[in-house]
Structure formats: C-alpha cells, structure tokens
Amino acid sequence: GENVEQHPSTLSVQEGDSAVIKCTYSDSASNYFPWYKQELGKRPQLIIDIRSNVGEKKDQRIAVTLNKTAKHFSLHITETQPEDSAVYFCAASRSGGSNYKLTFGKGTLLTVNP
C-alpha cells in the first residue's frame, strides 16, 4: 500500500518568514495530493490540493509543488502569520473506482512566532 513520509515534524518560524513542508510517497499510481490544516482543538480542513497532471498550484500565500518523477510534493507558505500556526498533514491517493482512501503523513506542527 501507499506510504507517505512527512518532514519536518515540527517547524518554528518568525512571522513574515516562509515555511516549507515536504512529503514523499511510495505508490507511483497515486495522483491526488491534498494538504489539510488542523488548528488546535479543531477538525482538519483542506487548504489546497494538486492533481498529478499539474506541477504547481497557488492560492494566495500558499502553494503546492509536485515532482512525480521523484515522488515528492511540498507545501510552501509565504509571509507567515500567527494564524498559520497549526498542524499540517499531507496525503496521497489514487483516483478511480469507488476507493477514495487517503494515506496521510504524520503531520507537521508549524509555530509562527510574532
């Protein structure tokens, strides 16, 4: 089955700096890569996703890049703000059929210091 590795497990940055979280996956058939944000005491919520036919996707201060050859993808947050502090999870999935199972990484605790 799919295995997703996520690094680093914790990341501390100063407000205004950039943050990068990296994930690798094992299943070359995976073609969908979402990122979820979980604030303290709240439920995980999708913040951005990318499909394998695209190399990069951007939404305001967040972007995701995908390297299919190397089987890794990354989340980039620019101009970080204290409200970006949360646990971030990457995930990978195959599409097709009735199976939409996601395999999650172990998460990265991002702390943005004011």
C-alpha span between 39 and 36 (Å, rounded): 10
- For other proteins, the binding residue among 21, 30, 35, 44 (CB under 8 A) is 44
Is 20 a binding residue for other proteins by CB under 8 A? The answer is: no
Which lies closer to other proteins via its Cβ, residue 96 or residue 114? 96
Name the one residue in this structure whose structure tokens are 């996707």. 57
- For other proteins, the binding residue among 13, 20, 63, 102 (CB under 8 A) is 102
Q: Which residues of 76-110 are buried (b: 16+ CB within 10 A; e: fewer)?
A: bbeebeeebbbbbbbbbbbeeeeeeebbbbebbeb
Shortest distance, position 9 Cβ to other proteins, whole Å:
7
- For other proteins, the binding residue among 19, 24, 25, 34 (CB under 8 A) is 34
